[in-house]
Chains A and B, each alone.
Chain A
Amino acid sequence: DGGITQSPKYLFRKEGQNVTLSCEQNLNHDAMYWYRQDPGQGLRLIYYSQIVNDFQKGDIAEGYSVSREKKESFPLTVTSAQKNPTAFYLCASSITTGASGTQYFGPGTRLLVL
């Protein structure tokens, strides 16, 4: 059945380490997104991608990087430059970046710093 998968469910990062969060979708959606959720806050956009091999910075891109080599995959790397990485990370996809492109979310990855 179609959906969005994120792995791992929990991820631990050591100081100075880069870690990569996986996001895969089999919905044949063109657009994919990464959000971050902190306690008591809404979701904030980190990066988004409208098509393969293209991506744009969101509102809080500093300390993160992405790639979009395949339509189905949009991995997010949390680099050592991200000073406050502890958060719940959500990946989403939508059928279009135009009108009525409702976004559908994966189950999320919780990143914790050791």
Chain B
Amino acid sequence: DQQVKQNSPSLSVQEGRISILNCDYTNSMFDYFLWYKKYPAEGPTFLISISSIKDKNEDGRFTVFLNKSAKHLSLHIVPSQPGDSAVYFCAASALGGGATNKLIFGTGTLLAVQP
């Protein structure tokens, strides 16, 4: 049973346009969400996070939107650059009550930004 789902294995976008990566979750106890970027043969790099008390968090070209009622979050990259080409992982955790910060990861979406 996959609790965090990234249904699009890949996405291709033109340079300068918006990239939208989507993530769905099933566990209503999740209250903290993160996006990581990963290049081949390297460790994931933290990009941006959002707490369930918010519905939007922005950091430069990256914005994460959270729709709790739909159990859906998305990562927007504007404008997209060729260096953004990588695999993007969505992750979630349930932190309430001092629970251990176990992250549950999606399967990733490969973003290709075409020059």
Contact = CB atoms under 8 A, between A and B. Distances in A.
B12 interface: no
Interface residues of B, number: 25
B95 A98 contact: yes
Given A90-B44, A94-B101, A108-B43, A41 B107 contact: yes
Nearest to A103: B103
B28 interface: no
Interface residues of A, number: 32
Contact of A100 (B51, B91, B100): B51
A71 interface: no
Contact of B41 (A43, A44, A110): A110
Interface of A: 4, 6, 31, 35, 40-45, 48, 50, 56, 58, 88, 90, 92, 94, 96-108, 110
